[in-house]
Structure 1
């Protein structure tokens, strides 16, 4: 393409929208201009790639801003509710919230990463939000875990949570009975609590919060005012934590 042809195209592409009016062109001028644009793009296809890259970057920046606004608007429900299990360092300077499902493969993959993270950084507060979205066995497991917390306390919940996260069998009432026996828990009391309004309210509130945050899958993490939708290894989570700490200095 000659410089004579490329120059009008470049000027037109660079000009403000109001300075360039296609409607003011004659049909012949419009056809010639469109032909030059087509030729320019065919000879310089990297322009399309660059434009797509800019668009994707803008979309990602908009998503990050939206997630930050959602996290800030729902901060109290995320970090300070009265029903969620709090692990790690309860007085930590950074809080990580995880929405999880016991039958979610990526949640199971994330579990050792989260444990490694909490072991490496002892100043992280970790909040668990039960979000059973993968069918009745998921709901059964979450009801059992939440009921265990209510009946037997946080330490028992932690044992049950960890075991269910590593469990690769079918979650059934019989399996949960064996789990209670293994940890010497009052299974009758836990079973009675599973269908209580208190347990239902916990799960309903968690689901409503997930909807507010536009969370549609598990795992999903909220780290400060940042959201991570999906699995993330411990080293990447540590980078996010370090960045948040740096912003607060």
Structure 2
């Protein structure tokens, strides 16, 4: 559609609710010419009026769509055994999609843990998201391996160790971290390469895409999706 006809479409809506004199400062001849343009446009594309008069989606509509999406993906969100989880099993879920390696990640994790513990009725779930500017998927594979092979306490130590690495995507660097920490390096590297580890990363990418998460950290708190980083103190407002 040409620019003139696009302008006519927009102004036709104005003319539907306001008098021509109030909406436009045109001469009588210009009014006539414009009216002819609008009439021709509406005869050609009558659906324009319906689109213009259709109400915009309300907040309630958007919230309902989000709630339905969270219900649909509940198993992946809240019951993935490959995630770090801490707090009462029946508590309000606080799901954090975190980069696997960044300078501030260990501090953020401790703030989230403190928030959940202080609330007392919150279950913190952390998903080591593999695709982010802060880290290569290798770091996420490493954290998955540590959690599965050694357990949550070592996973927290691994997150701190990764935050200090200049290149957490380097397998040799990850091997050295394992050896320095006294962990079974060969077992961890084998677990990183296992098909179920890669399947978890694929699953995580699909979940984040479905939720519309493209920046990390991002969160699901109770029934609310929060795209992007916010201070943990603000997350508390979404907890009961």
Which of 205, 208, 230 is the matching residue for 2:206?
A: 208
Which of 163, 167, 175 is the matching residue for 2:164?
A: 167
Give the structure, 1 or 2, with the largest relative contact order (CA under 8 Å, sep 6 or more): 1
Equivalence map 1:1-249=2 (5 Å): 22=16, 30=20, 32-35=21-24, 62-87=61-86, 89-91=87-89, 93-103=91-101, 110-134=108-132, 137-164=135-162, 166-167=163-164, 169-171=166-168, 172-241=170-239, 245=240
C-alpha distance in 2, partners of 1:201/1:75?
18
Q: Which runs of 5+ in 2 are unaligned?
A: 1-12, 26-55
The Cα shift of 1:208 comes to 1.1
Equivalenced residues, count: 197
Contact in 2 for aligned 1:145/1:161 (Cα 8 Å)? yes
Contact in 2 for aligned 1:107/1:219 (Cα 8 Å)? no
The Cα shift of 1:219 comes to 0.8
Go from structure 1 to structure 2 and tell me whether the alpha carbon gap of 1:168 and 1:59 turns closer, same or farther (over 3 Å shift). farther
Go from structure 1 to structure 2 and tell me whether the alpha carbon gap of 1:136 and 1:58 turns closer, same or farther (over 3 Å shift). closer
- What SS does structure 1 have at the residue aligned with 2:130? coil
C-alpha distance in 2, partners of 1:209/1:59?
25
Contact in 2 for aligned 1:102/1:108 (Cα 8 Å)? no
Contact in 1 for aligned 2:85/2:126 (Cα 8 Å)? yes
Q: Which runs of 5+ in 1 are unaligned?
A: 1-16, 37-56
C-alpha distance in 1, partners of 2:191/2:59?
43
CA RMSD of aligned residues (A): 3.1
Contact in 2 for aligned 1:95/1:127 (Cα 8 Å)? yes
C-alpha distance in 1, partners of 2:147/2:212?
27
Contact in 2 for aligned 1:104/1:218 (Cα 8 Å)? no
Q: After superposition, what is the alpha-carbon deviation per residue over 1:48-87, rounded to whole angstroms, capped at 9, x for unaligned?
A: xxxxxxxxx9665554443223212211221112221212
